Amino acid sequence: MDERATLTQARSLLILLIATCKQTQLALEAASNILDTELTRELGAMIERTEDELAALTKRIQALPA
């Protein structure tokens, strides 16, 4: 597998992770369970970090020669 394919696969996995975290966060917020407050906050932090990684990875892919 070449570098572009590897990076594209990694980008796809990050997109799936973000989507999964956002859906889980929505479900926890809808449940309004006070015990889930910490998990909801942690998911928010994970989403932010993953979005940053996704942006950096996208830049790396765009910088590759065509």
Model pTM score: 0.88
Structure tokens at 65: 């020669």
Alpha-helical runs (H) found in 1-66: 3-31, 37-63
Average per-residue pLDDT in the chain? 93
> What whole-number distance in Å separates Cα of residue 10 and Cα of residue 30?
30
Instruction: Give the pLDDT mean for 52-60.
Output: 97
* pLDDT above 90 for 32: no
pLDDT computed for residue 36 by the predictor:
81
pLDDT computed for residue 18 by the predictor:
98
CA distances from 47 to 1, 14, 15, 37 (A): 28, 10, 10, 15
